[in-house]
Structure 1
Amino acid sequence: MKILAISGSLRAASLNAMLLRVLARVAPAGVEVTLYPDLGQLPLFNPDLADAPPAIVRALEQAILEADALVIASPEYAHGVTGAIKNGLDWMVGNESFINKPVALFNASPRATHAHAALRETVCVMSARVVEAACIVVPLVGANLDEQALVHDAAIVAALRGALLALREHVGGSTADVMAQ
């Protein structure tokens, strides 16, 4: 199973990006998690370019199409998603990359309810299949954890693998290896 993970934060010390990196590190055999690295490099969405988008936009579309599922984690800014994730999603509205795509939404802060709801609304409008059982809130705010500590936190690893299991069930195929490691 191939998962494309997208962090809505451009911060180097982003908790959401850290959570996705940990997801990649704890993914069992048979589950490949790739973090999308270029969200901040996308040009601002311009509908005039929708018919012939820049190469970087086409590359994002192709990466989404090739993924079996998506995991998106975004912080909340001013009760909404970040401009970076909104911009990336806006570029995808005019193509078929999100149609029927299984999506898990991760939230690294239980206080980020507005952004989480806005992100859910956006991907649903884009015809993605939000896999409720794969959507998790991992309260990292104020936890003072680093990536290595998260990899060794049994509760966080269990939540992440549970999300992978739920995604696997919606993608199809065996779920046994997801929880085995």
Structure 2
Amino acid sequence: MNILAISGSLRASSTNSALLRAAAELAPNNVSVTLYNDLDDLPHFSPERDKENTSEAVNRLRALLQAANAVLICTPEYIHGMPGVLKNMLDWLASSGEFVEKPAGVISASPSDMGGSRAHAALSYTLSVLTANLPEGASLIVPFVRTRIDAGGHVTDPVLIDELRGVIRALVKAIELRN
């Protein structure tokens, strides 16, 4: 089983990326989690650009999504929504159908007590519009994220470790049900 993990943050020391790396480490042996690191390479979306000569970065993303059995996206919250680069990525995928019935997990993380809940809601809604399968249990909001991860980007909170395992389990179950 292959899960493509996408961080909505471009920061090198992103807590969202750290959560995805932790989820990858917690995945069962029969599950491969690949972290997509090229979000910043995607051009700005425009419907005219999606007709012909689509950029290599977009083609590569689409190929990775097609090959994945599931997707796990972790987003920060910027101005009460998901980051523009993440929305831009989703715009590129609207016409090509990679998310149709694909199991997708949604995590949001923030240093605030809200845990990025508004970005989480926006991302979940957009994925549902793209007809992704959002399985029960594959959703997680992480408040006070900086107190739950150490300076090296390792999850230190045992509750959060269990929650991340639960997200992966829910995605694995959705993959099994789909096959």
Per the alignment, residue 17 of structure 1 pairs with: 17
**CA-to-aligned-CA distance 1:37-88 (integer Å, 9 cap, x gap):** 1001111112111122111101101101110000011111111110110011
Within-5 A mapping of 1:40-79: 40-52=40-52, 53-79=54-80
Is 1:130 the equivalent of 2:131?
no
In structure 2, the partner of 1:102 is 103
Aligned residues with identical type, % of pairs? 41
The offset of 1:124, in angstroms, is 0.5
- Quote the RMSD (CA, aligned, Å): 1.6
In 1, distance between residues paired with 2:143 and 2:33? 21
The code of the aligned residue for 1:129 comes to N
Rounded Cα–Cα distance in structure 1 between residues aligned with 2:119 and 2:56 = 28
TM-score when normalising by structure 1: 0.89
The equivalent of 1:31 in structure 2 is 31
Instruction: Give 1:144 shift.
Output: 6.2
**Which amino acid letter does the alignment assign opposite residue 105 of structure 1?**
V
Partner of residue 169 from structure 1, selected from 164, 167, 173:
173
Render the CA deviation track for 1:123-172: whole Å, top value 9, x for unaligned: 1101111113111123343406225641x543222111111111111110
Q: Report how many aligned residue pairs link the two structures.
A: 172
Conserved 8 A contact 2:18-2:154 = no
The residue type paired with residue 78 of structure 1 is I
Residue 117 of structure 2 aligns to which amino acid in structure 1?
T
Structure 1 stretches (4+) deviating beyond 6 angstroms? none
Q: 3-state SS of the aligned residue for 2:137?
A: helix
Other-structure match for 1:145: 149
**Could you tell me which amino acid in structure 2 is paired with residue 24 of structure 1?**
A
Q: Given residue 48 of structure 1, which amino acid in structure 2 is its aligned partner?
A: E
SS in 2 for 1:137: strand
- Name stretches of at least 5 consecutive residues in structure 2 with no aligned partner: none
Q: Taking structure 1 as reference, are residues 153 and 78 closer, same or farther at Cα in structure 2, changes over 3 Å only?
A: closer
Shift of 1:13: 1.8
Tell me, in whole angstroms, the C-alpha distance in 2 between the residues paired with 1:79 and 1:108. 12
Unaligned runs of 5+ in 1: 174-181
Q: Once the two structures are superposed, what CA deviation does each residue of 1:4-58 show, in whole Å capped at 9, x if it has no partner?
A: 0001110112111110011112222001110001001111112111122111101
Cα offset for 1:3?
A: 0.3
Secondary structure at the residue paired with 2:80?
A: coil
Residues 6 and 35, structure 2, Cα contact 8 Å, conserved in 1: yes
